[in-house]
Structure 1
């Protein structure tokens, strides 16, 4: 989990996460579900999505946000945004980019 949090854009796969935890992929999936309430790959996607959102709000293009958050392409990032948030990355930036903390 720390590796994903530190570097969401890293090459995180079920196999690599399981190797790092010294368990099988199946056991890792069970542990994640029991302890975190989600699958390992959903955890990775969650952190990548959060990183992409931050990058977009900081002015990155969709392609840059995709590359620096671990999505294979701008198209993949768009699909995840629409599936998870109901808006495209550009719509997200337009809607939330002007907000200040």
Structure 2
């Protein structure tokens, strides 16, 4: 039996032209979590949205947090949700 791996979604604002930021973020997360993530989806949105969800749960919202995530902080949030025992090396240093 195989365990279903998490789905990560990055909803980005098409009006703000944040596709490249969303794509870069997806690439970085897929590079870091090569075996832990089952899927990364880019979801077009509007109205300044830049939300990151794991299995439907928002782990980062640009509107709520007042900006974009630093990559190391985002990796920690994803790790804490999908692989809490995983060492992220330099990304774990604050």
Q: TM-score range by the shorter chain?
A: under 0.3
Which TM-score applies when normalising by structure 2? 0.25
Identify the structure with bigger relative contact order (alpha carbons < 8 Å, sequence gap 6+): 2
Which TM-score applies when normalising by structure 1? 0.24
- Rg larger for: 1
Of Structure 1 and Structure 2, the greater strand share is in 2
Of Structure 1 and Structure 2, the greater helix share is in 1
